[in-house]
Amino acid sequence: MRILVVEDERKVARALEQGLAAESYAVTVAHSGEDGFFRVSSESFDLVVLDVMLPGRSGIEVLSAMRRRGLKTPVLVLTAKDAIEDRVIGLDAGADDYLVKPFAFPELSARIRALLRRGKQETTLTLQVDDLHMDLIGRTVRRGAQQLDLTPREYEVLEYLLRHRDQVVSREMLARDVWKEMVRHSPIDNVIDVHMVRIRRKVDEGFPTKLVHTVRGVGFVLKGEKS
């Protein structure tokens, strides 16, 4: 999978390059709008990560020019402003998704996976990590032979973790995707933490292998021993 990152801030660009390379993407970095547009029109990419605030040619201009040329490569827009107008402008210009700076890397990585996966039919009926099984039809969870008694919210969180197995899930992602909270405030983070404590207790207590892990400062990850 080839990804083009158009970002003028060198530190951020380098972090993205390394982070995405670590997830086995082939990453190309462009530091200006012109360079980005030149590369996207001369090479072939599976996805473009595009900063809006670029020197010279703005990300929105690059995006519009791409779409005018008929390039259908999925584009994820990075914007420093989270004013609604900016999002609308970005989406109108043909962006497939947007992310507001400062963003958490796990979130970017999750969005990229979602965009690359887009259009592919989901056929899974069960999710599994090690001996943790989730039945999506019956909405039941068991660890080994033992049935876990989860509240609906706990079930949703666990499902989200299972779907993102082996990937770090940030509090921002949980707040937005599970709690559907648009505004970020500390009470929600506390609520998420309490739920995670309870889920961990139900999933891991009494089992030698711990599946739910906290990545300090970033979020949570559901990880089996085998993976």
Partner 1 sequence: MIGFRTRNVRTRLTVWYVAVLAAALVIYAGIASTVMVLQLRSELDRLAIEDLETVEGFLTPAPDGSVSLRNDYHDHPYPADVQQRLMEVWSADGKLLYRNEVLGGRALSGPPTPGEGVNSYSERSVRLADGTPVRLVSRHHLLEGRATVIRVGFSEEPLWARFWQVLIGLIIGLPLALGLAGLGGYFLARKALSPIDRMARRAHEINAEHLSARLDVENPADELGRLAAAFNETLARIEHSFEQLRRFTSDASHELRTPLTAIRAVGEVGLREKGTPEHYREVIGSMLEEAARLTRLVESLLTISRADSGQLPLAVSEITVLPFVREITSLLEVLAEEKAQHIVVSGNERALVKADRGVLRQVLINLLDNAVKYSPAGGTISVRVRPAGQTVAVEVEDGGPGIAPEHRVRVFDRFYRIDEARSREAGGAGLGLAIAKWGAEAHSGRIELECPASGGCIFRLTLPGEESRAIPERDIREASEIVR
* Near partner 1 by CB under 8 A: residue from 159, 177, 191, 207: 191
- Please say which residue, 71 or 103, places its beta carbon nearer to partner 1: 103
Decide if residue 11 touches partner 1 (CB under 8 A). no
Q: In the window 87-126, what residues touch partner 1 (CB under 8 A)? A: 102
* Near partner 1 by CB under 8 A: residue from 122, 216, 226, 227: 216
Can you tell me the distance from the alpha carbon of 135 to that of 54, in angstroms, rounded to the nearest whole number? Answer: 46
* Near partner 1 by CB under 8 A: residue from 185, 205, 208, 227: 185
Angle between helices 152-163 and 186-204 (to 10 degrees): 80
Decide if residue 152 touches partner 1 (CB under 8 A). no
* Near partner 1 by CB under 8 A: residue from 42, 68, 117, 182: 182
* Near partner 1 by CB under 8 A: residue from 179, 204, 207, 224: 179
Q: How far is the CB of 55 from partner 1 (least distance, A)?
A: 23
Can you tell me the distance from the alpha carbon of 36 to that of 200, in angstroms, rounded to the nearest whole number? Answer: 44
Decide if residue 205 touches partner 1 (CB under 8 A). no
Spell out the residues 6+ positions from residue 141 whose beta carbon is closer than 8 angstroms to its own: 132, 133, 134, 135, 147, 148, 150, 155, 158
| Stretch of residues binding partner 1 (CB under 8 A), selected from 5-13, 50-58, 134-142, 214-222 | 214-222
* Near partner 1 by CB under 8 A: residue from 70, 119, 138, 187: 187
Q: Is 70 left (phi over 0), alpha (psi -120 to 50) or beta?
A: left
Decide if residue 137 touches partner 1 (CB under 8 A). no
Residue with tokens 């599976």: 46
Decide if residue 12 touches partner 1 (CB under 8 A). no
* Near partner 1 by CB under 8 A: residue from 44, 183, 208, 227: 183
* Near partner 1 by CB under 8 A: residue from 122, 186, 205, 226: 186
| Stretch of residues binding partner 1 (CB under 8 A), selected from 63-71, 121-129, 140-148, 186-194 | 186-194
Residues that bind partner 1 (CB under 8 A): 82-83, 102, 171, 179, 182-191, 194-195, 198, 215-218
